[in-house]
Structure 1
Amino acid sequence: MAVGLAGDLRQPGVNGGDAMWMGLGAAVCFGTSDFVLGSLARSIGVRRAAFWNQLIGLLAVTMLLCQLPSSKQVFASAPAAAWIAGVAGGLAYLLGSLALTRAYSLGAAAIVGPLGNNSGAVATMLSMINGQIPGAGTLTGAVLCVAGLPLAARGARSTSTSSTPAALYATFASVAFGVSLWVQGRWSVPVLGPWLNLWIAYLVGVPTLIPLLSRLPPKTEAYSRRNIGRLLCVCTLSLCARGCIAVGLSIGPTALVAVLSALSGTVTALLGVLLLRERLTVVQWCGVGVVIAGIVVIHASR
């Protein structure tokens, strides 16, 4: 079996505490990136935002792989099953990214954030179906996350945007991210390592989005100085978040890093309430609270 790229990052004395900080760093970066992503998608469009995010990420990770001595060995010796799993996981991640970007362009960040970051619960349920029964705490947290979804989607006040479509897109994103996490974590990451998996995800996304992007009418105002600044902010934060996850996966348990990074929805929700003064109904607050409580319970059970 090929040695994963994670081996390049293992250092003596590294422990689970370092992986915890990587997971929390990913949560902060992803949460902030998603917060900015909403206004960017409304301005330049969902597909444009997703394409540039994927392209810049692909270029950055390609340069990183060129500096890793084990990358050539992995390319040459990895079995076909690992590549197939990486591509499948990359496609699932791309669908999740498009759905989440669309959700942020339609609804309040305080709702979309927690709903769109339930990949940990989805991956847990898929593991159960596959015969891997989690502990009572993890199972309880997953049930809470699922139960909070319909509550957060109900009771919207009359505004210019509807929370129901946004909630549906965010829920689909959670499922897609969970499937991607489960597929890659089970069949691809152990063989290819996190960095090569990340590269595959970007590589799958760019050529897939090019035909979709070519159908859009020209929109020169989309690339204003303000939008370029927001795009660079989103791409940089997304790369930092994925880098934290890659390092975390190489030095600690995958479950710990994945669950902690899912707290990004809490970060996005708090930014929406504090900076945009987004208002939620009591029912929606209850749904958001239940989802956040489920994520916390999953984390506490690890």
Structure 2
Amino acid sequence: MSVWFALLAAMLYGISFWIQGKFTLPALGPVNMLALGYAVGVMFLIREAVRFLRDHTTIMLKTYGSLCGASLFNLGGFSAFSWGALNGSVSVVTVISTLSGGIAAILGYFFFRERLSVIQIGGVSLVLSGALLLHLYG
């Protein structure tokens, strides 16, 4: 089941990146696009977030720190994507940004000793090789 959700996420992210690069970024610019994108997310999720925080009053400070850190890295990643797509080819920037999954797998291996199967190592290697070839010949 998780594979289907991953494929759905890939499809939705792909559509999102294409819309951002083709229409939103040229019209609004990176900063306004990011601000409006996060504002839309807040509008749709604020009610659920308030309910969650009310029911989980014993969330530790470490959890809030992790959330803030992840959010800042996410914002930095989308900012880098936005500037890259605005100043270059949307297709090239989008493909290179897919390295995030490979990087997450590598970090999981080194920091949490998560085991990667041979197929997963092959997949990460293919993603890295594809990005290298895109950089060299794209």
- 1:212: how far off? 3.1
- Relative to structure 1, the CA distance from residue 281 to residue 257 in structure 2 (aligned partners, 3 Å threshold; closer, same or farther) is closer
**Alpha-carbon distance in 1 for matches of 2:50, 2:67:** 19
**2:44 maps to 1:181:** no
Question: Matched residue of 2:58: which SS?
Answer: helix
More helix by share: 2
Q: Report the Cα distance in structure 2 between the residues aligned to 1:226 and 1:280, rounded to whole angstroms.
A: 28
Which residue of the other structure, out of 69, 73, 83, is the alignment partner of 1:237?
A: 73
Of 220, 234, 239, which residue of structure 1 is paired with 2:57? 220
Question: What is the aligned counterpart of 1:192 among 28, 31, 38?
Answer: 28
Percentage of matched positions with identical amino acids: 33
Counterpart CA distance in 1 for 2:14 and 2:26 is 17
Corresponding letter in the other structure for 2:56? K
For 1:1-302, list aligned pairs within 5 A.
165=2, 167-216=3-52, 218-222=55-59, 224-302=60-138
- Count of aligned pairs: 137
Where does structure 2 lack aligned partners over 5 or more consecutive residues?
Answer: none
- Displacement of 1:187 in angstroms is 2.2
Residues 273 and 253 (structure 1 numbering): CA distance in 2 closer, same or farther, change over 3 Å?
same
User: How many Å apart are 1:278 and its aligned residue?
Assistant: 0.8
Which protein shows a greater Rg? 1
CA distance in 2, matches of 1:175, 1:299: 23
